[in-house]
Structure 1
């Protein structure tokens, strides 16, 4: 395992750092968050503008082929850029699904004319794409989707879509979406699906934001009510929807390096130093004790530090594989489980230190509380997104440890038979 950049990687890191220094303000604190006081629409507009600037400079989609406007770079370069960008106060994350999962599926499987029409606009932030996969009855098992696409019976060359999707990230701001549908219920569940792309303002598309506990609405329900899609908006072959979906899911591997906020344990130390436990007067001492002086609190800090360091070591293994042109191993699946739990533990810890004030928001407690608030609201979702803890553990057990797979009662059955 290599902990250091190669000569080429170090040169690329310096290039990223120089460009970011010239184009964005550096964070004053590791826990500083972009967009304090901005509305969701304002944040989205800022993200579009920042994506456009990155694209012009060659950092918008580093791993994309050059013919699509990318840099033709390596996955390790993408990770290096994200590491450096994390030190600057800029909008991040809004285009992860659009550029990291959806558009790569588009230029691999769609007609070249479709790519020519949409890829450049997506790269420069002019178009935002969402991914319409999960449904109320098909989350971890996407093979159970029920959103139907049926051939038009009125002479039009196209399809009519009816159904519902849920947990669709940023659908309310998306210009286009890629939707996985059921086109043949008389074959096994993964063989009867087809993918289309759709204009999100098309007649019959209804978007309902899902209001989260923090007041934001990052996710949405999307309903399709007799939505017409011409056949030239089909992506891939009829019945080939699962292949298209897998292309997008495989690109998720590039999200490594962007899960843990930089130096989270140092943020915890600063909060412990600022937290007065009020024990001093009770024990007749001259001054009160901070959380950092409390042995039980220091034990929790140690646990946080060890988890963060363990995640860094797992990341180094993944980055070493990417840098050598190999696929990362199971370390990335394990890292997802540990990272989500660690972020939750950090937010619990920070809130416990505040006592009754721990239920207050950043509006009451100041900017330094914004990261805690975001992690408290969002870390639980990380344990669901991209596969629940249970699903990921099953994958690790079966595909890495070689344990016997769980029995599958649906093997060889058609989708219609599964519905009973």
Structure 2
């Protein structure tokens, strides 16, 4: 099997031109403003320190239990660089179509400074691929992953982001995917950064005719863990199922901006995210279902549920619809609230202590979403990490 690839220093003319253009614009761009709806609720008072981007990868962290249990291909991306032996330098000679990531400060910095992106394509579809993305030092890095799923094929990819313990860093990840006609992509994204990392993530998935996407996002770490996701339903009959679980503690901010853009006819999307916050943590969900005039017979739904486990924690949940076509079915729902007192009382009446009753509530709350994560072998690890966050907070008297 051919190894995943990354662009190198012998860049084609189009890439050199794009980097030069982005570099020329970067100095004129300001940090995004909280007054902009797409950045609302975020504390952006920090130095992105783009000039600290490393010229070579740092020291690779040892595989942990999650990577060691993986049965497929593992690719390491260290500080934006692929470090696996045998990885070759391959890049398209012609300029690709616009990936739709935008031109804000972070997107422009990525275009100017990213060393490249791992390419998972038709040569790598014979087994599951685990991309272990690591940030190793106090620097700003630009890791990238691109998945190309040819027509009629299937791909299974996990992207796990992590950073060295107790090291402040800024990371600007980019994840893009093209899913061809009648193709399928199962994708799980895990944000497991340390609590001093600010991650400004961007993801775009384009779906062809009768293609399908099952995507799950697991938000565990980061001081700011942001994922701005666009799914573009370009082909007739394309569909996506989006699941999310996230748990914030301390002073974390977990920020999700999900946009389902229905362009083709007879497309379907279903977003289902569940999250919890404790201590002084903040979660943000902004969901948009946009149906273009061409998107007739679309069915699209979004749901976001949030648990508030401490008086200092908060959650913002803002679902939106923008419908420009007729003959569609759409719906959205959100909730923000504490654990259910009636459920606690019932469980205690069956002999459980208050702490154990609350643990069962938290576990049951997340299970509805965890059980839908497409990579079933990851679910026990995710379940354990989610549950231990709450158990530890109980034992320390924080909830």
TM-score bracket relative to the smaller structure: under 0.3
Higher relative contact order structure (alpha carbons within 8 Å, sequence separation ≥ 6):
1
TM-score computed with the length of structure 1 as normaliser: 0.22
Say which structure is richer in helix: 1
Say which structure is richer in strand: 2
